[in-house]
Amino acid sequence: MAEFTMPSLGADMDEGTLLEWLVGPGDLVRKGDPVAVVETAKSTIEVECFETGTMTKLLVEPGATVPVGTPLALIGPATEQQPGRHAPKKGKPSKPTESAEPAETPKPPEIPSPPPEPVPVPVSAPSAARRPGHIEAGPLVRHLAEQSGVDLETLHGSGPGGRVTRTDVDHAAAARASTKPPHVRATPLARRIAAELRVDLATVKGTGRQSAVRASDVRQAAPGPSAPAPPAPAAAAPVHPSPARPSPVRPSATRPSEDRTTAMRQAIAGLMSRANRDIPHYYLSTTVDMAAAMDRLHEHNRRSPVGERLLPAALLLKAAALAAREVPELNGFWSDDHFTAGEGVHVGVAVSLRGGGLVAPAVHDADTLALPQLMAGLKDLVTRARTGRLRGSEVSDATITVTNLGDQGVETVFGVIYPPQVALVGFGRVVDRPWAVDGLLGVRPVVTATLSADHRATDGAVGARYLTAVARLLQNPEQLWT
């Protein structure tokens, strides 16, 4: 029996709030499956299971805030049979012949004994006789009715003597299916919130496992707060009572987001203060001629559909990833007073959130992805980061981080290292500048690349090799497309 504990989803996380379970007791879970939704000071994150097995017991209720390392659930060995699943097929193994009996039971309806019944008994009598509980139906028909969820007591048999036939069961099952509301897969928390917000789950598109509706889906589908009443009090109370009027309503509507933003800023402040205090940073920068890369980018976009076009950010991210593979001393972690190289190049991407603050989820194995895949992964990551749909592995295992403020108009950025990583790469805006090539002066697109590195793990010579590799890759863009 293994314990599934509250994971550490970043160096700045001490505790987390369990928002929702995505699985229940008895469910078979596999390594990497999202099993719970956890809220941290910075984001809402889907937490994956760390091993394959059967979820045997949930130890923490949704809504509870617990420290990192607290057991959340118990995971037992994987079993083929789960509670309530496949039980009818595997029950009573000691009597294998019983399972075969229903296949032989169609014979009773062929026995000539039932036909004489209509002679002594009128047609109306069987229906009255069936009231106490006796139903004329063969074993096979009973089995089919049980499988279809049809109550034989409600059927009027069309067979001899009012006997219920297979056709009667099929018709009743079809009628029941046409009137029965569709079953909607939803988590318990989603059902509770749907009842509170009066949201019809059948109208909500689920984004959980097997399209199950989750709490966040219900909240997103809920109608916004209608405010027909507030205008009347505002008009009735002109100027003097107006400061008092909003006070009971406005704080209750805005305090949660304000508290969340404050908590996020405090978490970021604590982590960055520790990073500046504990990590001896050194900084390097270089300016890279982007003419060849931009020409190749424009040519690619001219030949590609709109949905497959690339942004300069994809080229910069790919160059940073390939350079990290070339200079592995900057791709990893500093812990226990020594450097540990990362297993793969997982590039964290700094994403600013709409409500303030930022997160840095990782694009896994970015050095191996083709540019279209990298672009698609980057778009997906940014979207999910801003909607609170990140996964635990995406926020906890980045080996090097890239921050790109070019879209904000910034030309140069020197970042603070995100511990326990040992390097952070910064890119500014691609700008046109006077540039000499082969002794001739012209105007070329250039970008400033910077490196913030941990002096405990490397020195300036290693950092220089890294930035030189970035510049070489961007000036020879064919290497980025391979």
Q: Report the pLDDT value the prediction gives residue 141, as an integer from 0 to 100.
A: 67
Domain layout of the chain by residue ranges:
2-76, 131-180, 188-221, 225-278, 280-481
**Per mean pLDDT, which range of 65-69, 251-255, 452-456 is the poorest?**
251-255
Rounded distance between C-alpha atoms, residue 153 and residue 156, angstroms: 8
Q: Omega before 122 cis (within 30°)?
A: no
Mean pLDDT of the chain: 79
> What pLDDT digit, counting tens, does each position of 83-116 carry?
444 433 434 344 443 443 444 444 444 444 444 4
Q: Report the pLDDT value the prediction gives residue 179, as an integer from 0 to 100.
A: 58
- Average pLDDT over every residue of 44-52: 86
Asked if residues 30 and 49 have their Cβ atoms less than 8 Å apart, the reply is yes
Taking residue 426's Cβ as centre, other Cβ atoms within 10 Å add up to: 25
> What pLDDT digit, counting tens, does each position of 382-393 carry?
888 887 788 888
Q: Which CATH class is domain 280-481?
A: alpha beta
Kindly tell me the sign of the dihedral angle through the C-alpha atoms of 119, 122, 127, 128: negative
Q: Report the pLDDT value the prediction gives residue 72, as an integer from 0 to 100.
A: 92
What is the CATH code of the structural domain delimited by 2-76? 2.40.50.100
Give the rounded distance of the alpha carbon of 448 from its chain centre: 34
Q: Report the pLDDT value the prediction gives residue 134, as an integer from 0 to 100.
A: 58
Selection from 450, 464, 435 nearest residue 290 by Cα: 435
CATH 2.30.30 fits 188-221, yes or no: no
Q: Report the pLDDT value the prediction gives residue 257, as an integer from 0 to 100.
A: 55
Q: Which helix (H) or strand (E) holds 286?
A: strand 281-289
* Tokens representing residue 213 in the block: 């509706």
295 vs 98, residue with greater confidence: 295
Residue carrying structure tokens 């709490």: 215
Q: Which helix (H) or strand (E) holds 15?
A: strand 15-21
Q: Report the pLDDT value the prediction gives residue 89, as an integer from 0 to 100.
A: 40
> What pLDDT digit, counting tens, does each position of 392-443 carry?
888 888 999 999 998 889 999 999 999 999 999 999 999 999 999 989 999 9
Taking residue 27's Cβ as centre, other Cβ atoms within 10 Å add up to: 17
Q: Report the pLDDT value the prediction gives residue 449, as an integer from 0 to 100.
A: 98
Q: Report the pLDDT value the prediction gives residue 143, as an integer from 0 to 100.
A: 66
Q: Report the pLDDT value the prediction gives residue 283, as an integer from 0 to 100.
A: 97
- Residue 390 phi, psi (nearest 5): -75, 160
Same fold, 131-180 and 280-481: no
435 vs 129, residue with greater confidence: 435
Selection from 183, 180, 126, 118 nearest residue 155 by Cα: 126
- Residue 216 phi, psi (nearest 5): -65, -30
Rounded distance between C-alpha atoms, residue 141 and residue 129, angstroms: 19
Q: Report the pLDDT value the prediction gives residue 468, as an integer from 0 to 100.
A: 98
- pLDDT for 260 beyond 90: no
Q: Report the pLDDT value the prediction gives residue 357, as an integer from 0 to 100.
A: 76
> What pLDDT digit, counting tens, does each position of 325-341 carry?
999 999 999 999 999 99
Kindly tell me the sign of the dihedral angle through the C-alpha atoms of 463, 468, 471, 476: negative
Q: How confident is the model at residue 455 (pLDDT cuts 50, 70, 90)?
A: very high
Kindly tell me the sign of the dihedral angle through the C-alpha atoms of 39, 42, 46, 52: negative
The model's pTM is 0.60
- pLDDT for 145 beyond 50: yes
- pLDDT for 183 beyond 80: no
Q: Report the pLDDT value the prediction gives residue 192, as an integer from 0 to 100.
A: 72
* Tokens representing residue 50 in the block: 């760390």
Secondary structure (3-state) at 165: coil
**How many Å is the Cα radius of gyration of the chain?**
32
Contacts of 317 (CB under 8 A, 6+ apart): 347, 349, 363, 366, 374, 378, 402, 404
- pLDDT for 229 beyond 70: no
CATH 3.40.1390.30 fits 131-180, yes or no: no
Q: Report the pLDDT value the prediction gives residue 224, as an integer from 0 to 100.
A: 58
What secondary structure letter does DSSP report for 306? G
Selection from 113, 115, 110, 151 nearest residue 133 by Cα: 151
- pLDDT for 278 beyond 70: yes
* Tokens representing residue 44 in the block: 């809402």
